[in-house]
Amino acid sequence: MTAQEAVLTMIIQAVVVVGVVFSGFAGLTVIERKLIGRFQARVGPNRAGPFGLLQPLADIGKLTFKEDFVPAGANRWVFRLAPMIPVIAAVAALSLIPYGGVHEWFGHTITLYGTDLSVGVLVFLALSSLGAYGLILGGWASGNKYSFLGAARGAAQLVSYEVALGLSIVGVVMISRSLSLVDIANDQSGGLWYILLQPVAFVVFMIAAFAETNRVPFDLGEAESELISGYNTEYGSVKFAMFLAAEYVALIVISAFAATLFLGGPNGPWLPGFIWLGIKITALLFVFIWVRATLPRFRYDRLMKFGWKVLIPVALANIVVTAIVLGLGFAN
């Protein structure tokens, strides 16, 4: 494959993946509202199109034609830049997810992943942290004390739960002996998924993922009963839509990350790898929606206490146990 063909292949892969994810984001908003309606014994969206399937288009149209303004006391450049940061970070993280192996199509070798970095796990965590800056900067730049308080809450929450998230992954890295997401997925191709070897790490990871994506019950950065809305109070029109899109794209990306680390990634019998990965992502997204429909929002002090006094010690204990087991040779 020539250099031009390789570049063209990467561009096509990027366009397809981003298109699928953003289409999935639009569909996910409808599915979530319908599922929550079923969970809570009420009717979900059913007016825009058959069965309410055109609701995303109605939402986009509504948000597009709303007034787009910048508050008088805001930092204009940062205010406009902030909503773009989490979207860019989430889309960039997609390039690290393996959707399948290496295939020969029409005489060309195609790899079903954007890039295989030897430190892919660390880069993914870095991009996840970068996305949090959009929320923080958005609240600070708004010039609104409630928005700033929401940004401060979000910053403290994300710092706390990122520690637990990172520690929960250490056990998987110790077993696979690699920081490459492709290597971690390939190590599970034999059928033994890491969720069976690291069940505690999986639970810690999922709880921390709720906090990282600002989902109920950890959406303290946008608690409308206390902060009007939170970091996005002053945002409207397309800028608000970008924050909304970033949240749902981040949900898809963190679910893909969890599926790769603990559920074998694209590995599975009979079906193509990308279909198996899609099934696993869908199952994890259902869990996110189920929890949102079921649990109330935490009190902020209890949120922080749970992160520092429960999740982090449990994650550290899991690392110690994993090290002992590997050191004694039981996992070989």
Residue boundaries of the structural domains of the chain: 3-327
**Quick one: residue 176, left, alpha or beta (phi over 0 = left, psi -120 to 50 = alpha)?**
alpha
Question: CA separation (Å) from 168 to 164, 258, 317?
Answer: 6, 11, 10
> DSSP string of 57-99?
HHHHHHHHTS-----TTS-HHHHHHTTHHHHHHHHHHGGGS--
CA-nearest of 205, 194, 128 to 167 is: 205
- DSSP classification of residue 220: G
β-sheet bridge partners, residue 109:
104
Token pair belonging to 184: 């971690």
Contacts of 272 (CB under 8 A, 6+ apart): 100, 266
CB 83 within 8 A of CB 138: yes
Per-residue confidence (pLDDT) for residue 224, from 0 to 100: 60
Q: Rounded to an integer, what distance in angstroms lies between the CA atom of residue 23 and that of residue 275?
A: 16
Q: Rounded to an integer, what distance in angstroms lies between the CA atom of residue 163 and that of residue 71?
A: 35
Q: What share of the chain is helix, strand, coil (3-state, %, to 5)?
A: 70, 0, 30
Phi and psi of 109, rounded to 5°?
A: -85, 120
Per-residue confidence (pLDDT) for residue 8, from 0 to 100: 67
pLDDT tens digit at each of 332 positions of the chain: 566 655 666 677 667 777 777 777 788 888 888 898 888 888 888 888 888 888 888 888 888 888 777 888 788 888 888 888 888 888 888 888 888 766 566 565 666 676 778 888 999 888 888 888 888 888 888 888 888 888 888 888 888 888 999 999 999 999 998 898 888 988 888 778 999 999 999 999 999 998 888 887 887 767 666 656 677 788 878 888 888 888 888 899 999 999 999 998 888 888 887 888 889 999 999 999 999 888 888 888 888 889 899 999 999 999 999 999 888 876 55
Half-sphere exposure (Cβ direction) of 49: Cα atoms closer than 13 Å: 9
The three-state secondary structure class of 18 is: helix
pTM comes to: 0.88
The three-state secondary structure class of 109 is: strand
In 89-147, beta strands by DSSP E: 102-105, 108-111
Per-residue confidence (pLDDT) for residue 112, from 0 to 100: 67
- DSSP classification of residue 311: I
